[in-house]
Chain A
Amino acid sequence: MSLTREDVTYVANLARLEFTADEVTALADQLGAVLDYAQTLSELDTSKVKATEHVLELKNVFREDVVKPCLTNEQALANAPDSEAGCFKVPRVME
């Protein structure tokens, strides 16, 4: 069950990744191999099996509605690759 080039391109777009034509071919094969291996899962009848979303049986974990100190503007922007006027800067976003 190989992935098609179209599949790979679609997924790459969703993930905001870009690949050369050769890489797309390689990925189609490699991912296809992994998915082939994973096909064995379809052998199992899981129609009556509940999905495990959390291994722990925890529920209702909350925190109190209290305000605690924030980062300063400088601290928040300390790692920013590009910033201006106290904000993170990106290329113009087309609305």
Chain B
Amino acid sequence: MELSQKTIHEINDLLKKKEVTVTEVTQAVVNRIDAVEGSTDAYLRVQAEKALRDAKVVDEKLKARKKKSPLEGIPYGLKDNLCTQGILTTCASKMLYNFIPPYNAHVYDLLIEEGGVLLGKTNMDEFAMGSSTENSAYKITKNPWDLAKVPGGSSGGSAVAVASDTAFFTLGSDTGGSIRQPASFCGVVGMKPTYGLVSRYGLVAFASSLDQIGPFTKDVEDCALVLNAIVGHDEKDTTSLKIEKKDYTKNLKQGVKGLRIGVAQAFFGEGLQPEVRKSLEDAIAVYKAMGAEIVDVSFQYLDYALSAYYLISSAEASSNLARYDGIRYGYRAEEYDGLVDLYRKTRSQGFGEEVKRRIMLGTHALSSGYYDAYYKKAMQVRTLIKEDFEQVFGGCDVLLTPTSPTTAFGIGEKTSNPLEMYLTDIYTVPVNIAGIPGISIPCGLDNGGMPIGMQLLGPVLSEKTILKAAWAFENETNFKNLKAPLGREV
């Protein structure tokens, strides 16, 4: 297996033994980018020269000392809605086509501190609104397992970079499944931590009460490593949790004996692709064989989660995106007649269709006469869903569900029907509504060879339990070693 295909922990072993240098590792990834990016279009921009310079700097430091952290010298990508000072940050929108932030997202500051090597910014659905990355204003990212299929969204680029070995890890954002669903479609590990664990400062806001940043990695151990680096209180984010720092790699390999794994019928209804159902059933059997206890659990309010999600997220988004007006930064219409027309033309031209649709939905949900029936109602239903999960986790330690009802669909297949696209999020959104953590890991391939992902969910702050359960399955099976059949000759 060549360098770019390895995991972070494998690279660290090699670096430790001085069998490779950071420059060699970075060069390997850069070469891989040259080889496959033309087919996958995971990145919006790549800074290969800078990455190699950074790599050299790290190599110099490592001559004098040991690695200061697991991520030092590791090349990675960032979703383009994470602000990077001095580097274009567009959120894949025309609206921010030339926006260069004068500051860093907190997580980027943390990764700089860790000594990671930034390769570039990855493609996404515009302003993180979408489930296929087809809503990017710049390019369509292709699924490396089948270039005619979507990678999922909104963090499609980040998922593909890891899946096609053009990054050892990436960060994405997850508001309704935007990390987990593309991880599932692309056969990689993707995690959304508990709301508040990772600072949102510098993450361009979509839905403030739902957004969370999380890692894409090739395996669960890598996921724990990245989580260690990005979790932590940030005084610049009021909604950031102040808790004792944990080591997510500790007890990772403990096993699942006696662990209660909940399975709910609500996630196995109609609309579930048969191969997905089969994979999940097989996974349940694997867990059973490892000594876990399978528990039947049931939800009362799960059916209402998607509606609540769309009302809450659109409402918050309509307010968060109101600042894009062509006055202080970003796109400004060339022709307009007066101030109000400046706003209208700028926003109508700068935003894509899906973004405008959500802004309209959200504005309506908050408007006079509709607030109680829509937004307030959704917030009350949110309480019910939160309590529903608390009730479920009273009877089990983790919940096992499919990540998405189907595997990756074809590019262009669902773009004409917004509601149909929204329904692909049906298993992921409840997690954001409740603020709980969730991970998606590969658990099979469908008949067309497309990856199937399964979700492990837990109560608030149960990342360690989830990771433990994920690691156990991953290492009892061989799905993590399945690689997308994309240009393996490099």
- Is the pair A16, B419 in contact by a Cβ cutoff of 8 Å? no
| Partner-A contacts on B (CB < 8 A) | 98-100, 102, 195-196, 209, 235, 238-239, 241, 301, 303-304, 306-308, 310-311, 318, 322, 325-332, 336, 338-340, 342-345, 347-348, 351, 356-357, 359-361, 363-364, 367, 373-374, 376-384, 386, 418-419, 422, 434-435
Instruction: List residues of chain A with CB within 8 A of the CB of B338.
Output: 91-92, 94
17 A–B pairs (Cβ distance < 8 Å), ordered by A? A14-B363, A15-B363, A16-B322, A17-B356, A17-B359, A18-B348, A31-B361, A34-B418, A37-B306, A41-B307, A41-B377, A42-B377, A44-B304, A52-B386, A78-B102, A79-B330, A93-B339
Number of chain A residues close to chain B: CB under 8 A:
49
Since A30-B418, A33-B419, A41-B311 are in contact, a sample of 17 more A-B pairs with Cβ atoms closer than 8 Å, ordered by chain A residue number, is A11-B364, A15-B360, A17-B348, A18-B344, A30-B357, A33-B418, A34-B419, A40-B303, A41-B377, A46-B380, A46-B381, A52-B386, A55-B196, A55-B209, A79-B98, A80-B327, A91-B342
- Is the pair B241, A56 in contact by a Cβ cutoff of 8 Å? yes
Query: A7, A34, A52: which contacts B422 (Cβ < 8 A)?
Result: A34
- Is the pair A41, B381 in contact by a Cβ cutoff of 8 Å? yes
With A54-B239, A91-B336 given, is the CB distance from A17 to B377 under 8 Å?
Answer: no
Q: Does A51 contact B (CB under 8 A)?
A: yes
- Is the pair B102, A61 in contact by a Cβ cutoff of 8 Å? no
- Is the pair A91, B339 in contact by a Cβ cutoff of 8 Å? yes
Instruction: List residues of chain A with CB within 8 A of the CB of B235.
Output: 63
Chain A, Cβ-Cβ closest to B337: A91
* A75 and B329 alpha carbons, distance in the complex (Å): 11
- Is the pair B360, A8 in contact by a Cβ cutoff of 8 Å? yes
* A88 and B323 alpha carbons, distance in the complex (Å): 14
- Is the pair B373, A42 in contact by a Cβ cutoff of 8 Å? yes
Q: Does A65 contact B (CB under 8 A)?
A: no
B-contact bits for A43-65, CB 8 A (1 contact / 0 none): 01010011111111010010100
Instruction: List residues of chain B with CB within 8 A of the CB of A94.
Output: 338-339
* Shortest Cβ gap from A43 to chain B (Å): 8
* Shortest Cβ gap from A76 to chain B (Å): 8
